[in-house]
């Protein structure tokens, strides 16, 4: 299976321009699954809720319709982070779009910092989606810091985690996603953005370095800190079904659930 990421620097407040950039990059992509960053259509550094309202879209909606055509033409699955409007609520979401149309939506469960001022947290939990017979799960950025999120997906049989991100803390996400791969024996596509946004007296610099990690924690590819990068690698997702780390250790069978504290 050919899996990849598209790292780029969305322009704040230019959804049309950002969608055009995505469409241009992904049209004809030679891959089975490609992940784009968090809030890839709007940019990230909102100063008020009204700004999100102005750029959020329903899913399905005009943006996902256009991405559906790209996915159909390339015979590829796409995961794209975007601001979602649902009634009066706004979510920081990721849409999974396949060659036959929209497959599912994940609403970010763990909101980061000022996202809490603008978005509602997702309450839909962590779902499993089918991508050409492979079990795939979605997380968005800060979800990476909560090991329970990836574990919940892995315990449901997920083989590949798709992770649209706008990471700002250097190395945290690149490190934790590698650890999550090791502790769950799953493949992990971290699609991060790069660049700097300056708005309302605030500045955020995004860390780039998108990466794909294998089930054994090996970093298969890593993008630079800056610069657009459409990067695809061939992997065997079947490997993620095997949780054996030694002859006597199976990562899931060895869990001592009765001894763990969940609340």
Which residue ranges make up the site for ligand ACM (CB under 6 A)?
Answer: 38, 112, 141-142, 166-168
Specify whether the CB–CB gap between 22 and 42 falls below 8 A: no
In the bound state with ligand ACM, the residue whose beta carbon lies nearer, of 116 and 255, is 116
In the bound state with ligand ACM, the residue whose beta carbon lies nearer, of 98 and 195, is 195
Taking the complex as a whole, the smallest distance from the CB of residue 195 to ligand ACM amounts, in Å, to 14
Q: Which of 51, 57, 68, 108 is catalytic?
A: 108
In the bound state with ligand ACM, the residue whose beta carbon lies nearer, of 176 and 213, is 176
Is residue 51 part of the annotated active site? The answer reads no
In the bound state with ligand ACM, the residue whose beta carbon lies nearer, of 92 and 181, is 92
Residue 110, CA distances (Å) to 69, 113, 123, 135 in order: 31, 10, 10, 22
Q: Could you tell me if residue 18 is left (phi over 0), alpha (psi between -120 and 50 degrees) or otherwise beta?
A: alpha
DSSP 3-state percent helix, strand, coil across the chain (nearest 5):
25, 35, 40
Taking the complex as a whole, the smallest distance from the CB of residue 166 to ligand ACM amounts, in Å, to 4
Q: Which of 76, 141, 162, 209 is catalytic?
A: 141
Chain Cα centroid distance, residue 248: 33
Which are the contacts of 125, defined by CB distance < 8 A and separation ≥ 6? 109, 152
Strands 229-234 and 89-98: unpaired
Taking the complex as a whole, the smallest distance from the CB of residue 105 to ligand ACM amounts, in Å, to 17
Is residue 38 part of the annotated active site? The answer reads yes
Which DSSP helix (H) or strand (E) runs through 3?
strand 2-7
Is residue 108 part of the annotated active site? The answer reads yes
Taking the complex as a whole, the smallest distance from the CB of residue 250 to ligand ACM amounts, in Å, to 32
Q: Which residues are catalytic?
A: 38, 108, 141
């Amino acid at each position: 299976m050919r899996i990849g990421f598209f790292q780029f620097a969305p322009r704040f407040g230019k959804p049309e321009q950002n969608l055009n950039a995505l469409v241009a990059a992904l049209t004809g992509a030679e891959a089975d699954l490609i992940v784009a960053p968090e809030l890839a259509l709007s940019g990230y550094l909102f100063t008020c809720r009204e700004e999100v309202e102005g750029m959020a879209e329903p899913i399905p909606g005009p943006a996902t319709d256009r991405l559906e055509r790209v996915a159909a033409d390339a015979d590829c699955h796409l995961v794209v982070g975007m601001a979602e409007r649902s009634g009066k609520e706004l979510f920081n979401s990721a849409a999974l779009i396949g060659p036959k149309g929209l497959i599912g939506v994940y609403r970010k469960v763990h909101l980061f910092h000022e996202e809490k001022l603008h978005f509602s947290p997702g309450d839909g939990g962590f779902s499993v989606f089918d991508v050409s017979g492979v079990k795939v799960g979605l997380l968005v950025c800060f979800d990476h810091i909560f090991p329970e999120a990836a574990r919940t997906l892995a315990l449901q049989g997920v083989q590949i985690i798709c992770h649209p991100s706008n990471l700002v803390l250097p190395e945290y996400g690149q490190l934790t996603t590698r650890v999550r791969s090791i502790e769950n024996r799953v493949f992990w596509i971290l699609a991060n953005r790069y660049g700097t946004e300056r708005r309302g007296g605030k500045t955020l610099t995004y860390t780039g370095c998108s990466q794909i990690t294998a089930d054994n924690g090996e970093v298969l590819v890593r993008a630079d800190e800056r610069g657009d990068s459409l990067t695809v690698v061939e992997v065997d997702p079947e490997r993620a079904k095997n949780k054996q780390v030694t002859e006597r250790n199976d990562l899931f069978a060895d869990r001592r659930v009765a001894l763990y504290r969940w609340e």
